[in-house]
Amino acid sequence: MKLRTKIFLLFAGMATLPLLILTLFSYQRYVQTTYQRMDEISSRLFENAAEEANRVLDSVRNVYGSFNYYYTDGTSLLQDLKKYSDKENTPDSYQYYETYKTIGRTCHSLLLGNGSIYGIYIITPCGYVFDYTNGENGTIPIGYDIEGEYWYQETLQLDGRYYVSSPARHPVFTGKKQSVFISQCLKDVYSHKLMGILLIDCGLEMFDLSSVNTMPDITLVTVDNAETGEALYTNHSGGIPDANSKNVKTSQTMLNLEPLRLSVTVDYDTLFREFSVTGMLLILIGVSCIAGVIIFSFLIANYMVEPISHLSRKMASQKGHTLISSTRYLNRTDEIGILYNEYNNMVESLNLAVKQDYQDKLIILDAQMKSLEARINSHFLFNTLESINSMAELCDNEDIAVMSLALGNMFRYTLKTRSEVVTIEEELNHVKDYVTIQLIRFDHRFTLETDMTEEFRQLKVLKLILQPLVENALYHGLKYCTCGDTIRISGRTSDGCILLDVLDNGQGMAPEELEKLQNSLHEEPSFSELGHRTKQGIGLKNIHSRIELYYGRGYGLTVTTQQGEWTNIQIRLPLIQES
């Protein structure tokens, strides 16, 4: 085998095999991640659909619960229905009218609270019917034989469990709308005597889950009766197209109002095709890299071997006493000359490298010395503050002791915090140290209030973003405690973001001042030379720039104000969960 072929195969094999393995591994991991992502999407959609369906059905269950609810005087709607449970002792029309009004107050409130419920009906054993509707689907016809209906007898046999009808135009109502009605026996809590049948007529839109189905083309959502198999709602009347030939996942659960059941079927093949562009891109990149490596290996092998091959051919072609010279590689084929020149170049390069390495070590040594000097200075500062604190305590000067301790804590927090990211609790402690000093300075003429939960205080944020805002509120908002007396720090989470508000009841800002401040916040940070930023102190612009540099665009400070009343500075940060 020729040297050119050996070098080509060596280079091609060394580069192609890892690329091939990396491409296959990346594609396999991509497929696994895609299926995990599809499982997460499917599970989230199923959970959202179940939550929405149960939320709607709970409003129906609340109607039944209202009849068992006892008022403060010990009465309930079921007690009002007791007099209608005896067929032999039927109340007169006036009693019926009074009961109708009493129950009607509750039923009308329930109808107003849920527009999907068309009507609430109570069929009593003595023959009286209490009907309350919103006019959408009419009432129960006069003279209608309710007791002869299948659903009535089935409700009695269920003995307290729910009966759910099929979606249709039911003759029990004078209206012509399609609806689903749910019925249940009302019984006395103590005697278990039948008080009547409660019937709730519901519109089909009650079971509509299209608002939570984010992928209607590839997802089949069905609400059906688990006992009869009748579907109350489905977003595809014929199911998912070609569902039998596809990879699908079905999830089912019983809803809060049995026997209703929720089924969600997701077409994984169609969903995977939406993610497949990235997979094809991975394969294309891998094949392109392998082809590029093969071409590059051929060219590099040809470039390296051609001078040697030419020299070997010349040497092999020498015959007789006449030596044939070659001028093709006059400046390169003299191997001794090439090695000599390369050696000189290498020595020169090494000298430069040694010199550069020596200079780099001097720079590193100088940086280390400065770092040690800074540590010595910080230790000296901390030790001096602790000595002042001890002397103040011995002299019984509480203000100096408190101020020196708080100042030491502030320096320690500023210089010794190991990470640029700290908890909100640590930021608040730093603010409290600052406020402790200022309270002594201004004779406790202002107050600091905080409003956030303990769980919120453990979230991570960028260091040194709250104290400068409190200082800004004290100096510019409260105007050294001459224009207000309260600074309030509150926090909450919203749409995956952390929102921190620093509010003062000071002098506020004029519209032109607010506009100037907002324009400065949106200016790009400028640099005079590498490593040196233009002076901006530690004010609002500095904090806004640090947040944008650390978290990216879209995060930072927002200033709102009312001149003469208040100023609020809101910090917007991403909510990052620790793994």
Q: How many CB atoms lie within 10 A of CB 160?
A: 11
First CA to last CA across the chain, in angstroms? 55
List the structure tokens of 74: 């010990």
What CA–CA distance (Å, rounded) separates 298 from 106? 88
What CA–CA distance (Å, rounded) separates 63 from 271? 40
CA quadruple 474, 475, 478, 482: dihedral sign:
positive
Amino acid (one-letter) located at 299: L
Amino acid (one-letter) located at 539: G
Q: Which residues contact 427 (CB under 8 A, 6 or more apart)?
A: 461, 463, 464, 465, 466, 467
What pLDDT score does 211 carry?
A: 85
What CA–CA distance (Å, rounded) separates 47 from 52? 9
DSSP-assigned letters across all residues of 348-360: HHHHHHHHHHHHH
Report helix, strand or coil for 282: helix
- Nearest to residue 502, comparing CAs of 492, 518, 488, 514? 488
Domains of the chain: 58-207 (3.30.450.20), 344-416 (no CATH), 420-526+536-574 (3.30.565.10)
What CA–CA distance (Å, rounded) separates 181 from 222? 18
Q: How many CB atoms lie within 10 A of CB 20?
A: 15
Report helix, strand or coil for 56: helix
**Do residues 451 and 488 touch, judged by C-beta distance below 8 A?**
yes
CA quadruple 47, 49, 50, 52: dihedral sign:
positive
Sheet of strand 194-203: strand arrangement: 129-133, 117-123, 194-203, 179-187, 163-164
Report helix, strand or coil for 248: strand
Angle at the Cα of 567 from the Cα atoms of 523 and 451, rounded to 5 degrees: 110
- Nearest to residue 559, comparing CAs of 576, 575, 571? 571
β-partners of residue 250 are 265
Please state, in angstroms and as integers, the Cα–Cα distance from residue 456 to each residue in 309, 425, 492, 572, following that order.
74, 9, 7, 14
Q: pLDDT in tens for each of the 579 residues of the chain? A: 666 677 777 777 777 888 788 888 887 887 788 878 888 888 888 889 889 888 888 888 888 878 776 655 556 778 888 888 887 778 888 888 888 888 888 888 888 888 888 999 998 888 888 999 988 888 888 888 888 888 889 888 988 888 999 898 988 898 888 999 999 898 887 778 888 899 999 988 888 888 888 888 788 888 988 888 888 888 876 555 544 546 778 888 888 888 889 988 888 777 777 677 777 787 888 888 888 888 877 777 676 666 656 555 555 555 544 444 444 444 555 453 464 355 456 446 755 776 677 665 665 555 444 444 444 344 445 555 665 766 666 676 677 777 777 777 777 777 665 678 899 999 999 899 889 888 888 888 999 999 999 999 999 998 889 989 998 999 899 988 888 899 999 999 999 999 999 999 999 999 999 999 988 888 765 544 334 444 443 478 888 888 888 888 889 999 999 999 999 999 999 998 765
- Nearest to residue 234, comparing CAs of 267, 266, 207? 207
What pLDDT score does 246 carry?
A: 60
What CA–CA distance (Å, rounded) separates 490 from 470? 12
Its pTM stands at 0.46
Please state, in angstroms and as integers, the Cα–Cα distance from residue 362 to each residue in 354, 355, 520, 532, following that order.
12, 11, 41, 22
Report helix, strand or coil for 561: strand
List the structure tokens of 259: 């026997």
| 191: exposed, middle or buried (Cβ count in 10 Å: 0-12, 13-18, 19+) | exposed
The length of the chain in residues reads: 579
- Largest separation between any pair of C-alpha atoms in the chain: 144
**Do residues 547 and 573 touch, judged by C-beta distance below 8 A?**
yes
What pLDDT score does 576 carry?
A: 83
Amino acid (one-letter) located at 270: T
**Do residues 450 and 430 touch, judged by C-beta distance below 8 A?**
no
Q: How many CB atoms lie within 10 A of CB 236?
A: 16
State the DSSP code for 89: S
